[in-house]
């Protein structure tokens, strides 16, 4: 990431918005913006597959679920944030990983310029590739500031995306069990 270029671009944007760069309140804004982008887009610099760095051989053939993983991302269409939570379920074949590794995968992929649909798919793809489970299900729920602050202006509206692979796709009872586990706390 080229922070100097971001500083320069931010200065140009502020000028285009009619702002005075000599204003003391704006003096450090370009540098702060560059630092912010480096922080919130740090997933661009990481190889997400490396987040699952512990794989254990384990005989467990039931659902493993980590739900309500907070995610924060930046929509590539408007450069506005979207935020919410990811729910990741998988049924191992013979390989499991630490629960925190699933959260790290979601976080790393979210910290890129994204669209929610691709984010959901990418999370499932990484888990399938690294763990070769019998199945994986990923559900992401998020509020998009591009729908809140502009456009339709609908605060509180959630976008829900899901990806189901393997046994979750083939077996509706298994899929329904996972969905019940994900959303049971809301009943």
Q: Please give the positions annotated as active site.
A: 75-78, 116, 144, 146
* C-alpha to C-alpha distance for 77 and 17, rounded to whole angstroms: 20
**29-40 vs 3-16: helix crossing angle, rounded to 10:** 130
Q: Is there a contact between 88 and 65 (Cβ–Cβ < 8 Å)? A: yes
CA-wise closest residue to 144 among 169, 121, 117, 181: 117
């Amino acid at each position: 990431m080229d922070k100097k270029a971001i500083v320069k671009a931010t200065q140009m944007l502020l000028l285009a918005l009619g702002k005075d760069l000599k204003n003391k309140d704006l003096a450090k804004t370009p540098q702060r913006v560059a630092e912010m982008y480096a922080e919130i887009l740090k997933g661009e610099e990481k190889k997400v597959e490396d987040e699952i760095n512990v794989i254990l051989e384990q005989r467990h053939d039931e659902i493993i679920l980590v739900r309500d993983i907070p995610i924060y991302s930046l929509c590539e269409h408007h450069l506005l944030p979207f935020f919410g939570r990811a729910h990741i379920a998988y049924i191992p074949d013979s390989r499991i990983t630490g629960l925190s590794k699933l959260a790290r995968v979601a976080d790393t992929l979210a910290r890129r310029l994204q669209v929610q649909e691709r984010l959901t798919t990418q999370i499932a793809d990484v888990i399938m590739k690294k763990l070769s489970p019998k199945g994986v299900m990923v559900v992401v729920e998020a509020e998009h500031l591009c729908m809140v602050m502009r456009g339709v202006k609908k605060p509180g509206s959630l976008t829900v995306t899901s990806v189901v692979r393997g046994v979750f796709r083939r077996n509706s009872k298994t899929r329904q069990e996972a969905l019940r586990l994900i959303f049971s706390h809301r009943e």
